A = this chain, B = another copy of it.
């Protein structure tokens, strides 16, 4: 099995550290020229990346290219797509799995990168197509013969945030009358709020858990099944299972249909698998799902380009490495200027931090540098009236990734004072990018802006299903490339285990089965939970 390099093993690493002592000064008069804006621009499928407001020079980009080459980032990505076992720690027991989320959308090429996985994905999509037709034409309906118009999606973490954020992003394209709700939290108020006022007789329930044993999801499923029964309905006629083949949930006596997910697709990378597509298909129809998948597939293909200046997700990843490891920015703010993307930063927060929040390299040795940053963000222009104050004048250094669109999604707009709202939105986006970069002097120290706040801008035409698929795949590839840079296994999540064990122990204590005088009991007392 091949062993991969970390960026710290590369010759370019020291040279980049030296460049970082004196990074490009965006505030210097004449630094940010029109030529720079046009030169530091990378076009990929559906999006352009404008990075003139990053603190990079051609020299830095050349060194980042060397890093990419020495670490074989693209080669690793190619191997990942083709089914090499990338989810592993060399020399230690680990998950030992392939990493094939890309296969779930590799449906448009004459030569898919990993044919067996693509065939498996096609099989589930064929089942989905038939199912959606049956829902549409009344072959599947409730006991009174009425069509299903609602769907409750029950899942948590990877089975929730991706699908939910994509649904929010694309809900303006919803089929008429259809509505999707989500339940994730084991907090019983979550399910109660969703069930409140919903016509369950017209509702499908999609339960999403790869293992079929996730505590939160099963608890919520039981709550919803109980509500169905209380409404005089047969849960088996309303519930869908999205799960691993042969999991405890793969049971036709309890579910109307089963759709299968596979071990080689991690939860946080599963939005383009049945985890996302069953719900999206119900909401938007099968054709929009295919557009969404095609957008993602286009990015995956393009991400195999070796030149970092022409490979958008790779460039985004390396700019992130530059900001995080060399310019010492501990957090990344993802700021979409699109209200429809209001939950997308939360999905990226999960996908990025769960993948790259690691301290051990793939060779089992401790990391010598920092791995994944804290990822956060909210939509603009809202954020401008909130936390941007800290971005401009605070003492924390934040790497900023803007996302914007030339056109609005719904096209409902009007001119006020000579410009429409969409123009105001984009003008604010571009203005923030510039303001953060160049700053402003002032005699009054409280009105000074230091500038030199590195930022880049992903610019798309309009937030469509295809465009959303591309955006998702850009960030998935960025995260994977960064994990390769740090030589961590981006595909496991050992950090969730300890909490599970301790929660089980505390639940025992709650049932009175705990040891007298133990810490758990005292913690319950301190929390007032006796």
Contacts and interface: CB of A to CB of B under 8 A. Distances in A.
Contacts of A396: 330-331, 357, 370, 372-374
A444 interface: yes
B434 A523 contact: yes
A251 interface: no
A517 interface: yes
Nearest to A447: B494
Interface in A31-75: 32-34, 37-38, 41, 48, 50, 52
Nearest to A364: B445
B374 A421 contact: no
A406 B392 CA distance: 40
Contacts of A34: 517, 519, 521-522
A503 B424 CA distance: 8
Given A459-B528, A529-B426, A187 B421 contact: yes
A510 B450 contact: no
Interface in A167-197: 171-172, 184-193
Interface string A486-509: 000100111111111111011100
10 closest A-B pairs by beta carbon, nearest first, are A157-B385, A357-B390, A357-B394, A34-B522, A350-B386, A431-B502, A392-B495, A353-B387, A431-B503, A389-B495
Contacts of A440: 498
Nearest to A386: B350
Interface stretch (A132-140, A315-323, A375-383): A375-383
B376 A376 contact: yes
A403 to B, nearest CB: 12
A502 B435 contact: yes
A499 to B, nearest CB: 5
B519 A193 contact: no
A389 to B, nearest CB: 4
A385 B525 CA distance: 27
B497 A447 contact: yes
* Chain A interface residue number, banded: 35 or more
Contact of A385 (B52, B158, B398, B434): B158
A393 B158 contact: no
Given A374-B398, A388-B495, A507 B427 contact: yes
A103 to B, nearest CB: 23
Contacts of A492: 446
10 contacts: A34-B517, A38-B525, A156-B381, A161-B386, A185-B425, A188-B408, A357-B389, A358-B394, A369-B395, A371-B395
Contacts of A346: 378, 386
A431 B504 CA distance: 8
Given A160-B382, A191-B421, A353-B394, 12 more contacts: A38-B522, A48-B528, A161-B382, A171-B193, A172-B192, A188-B421, A330-B331, A331-B374, A358-B395, A374-B387, A393-B495, A461-B528
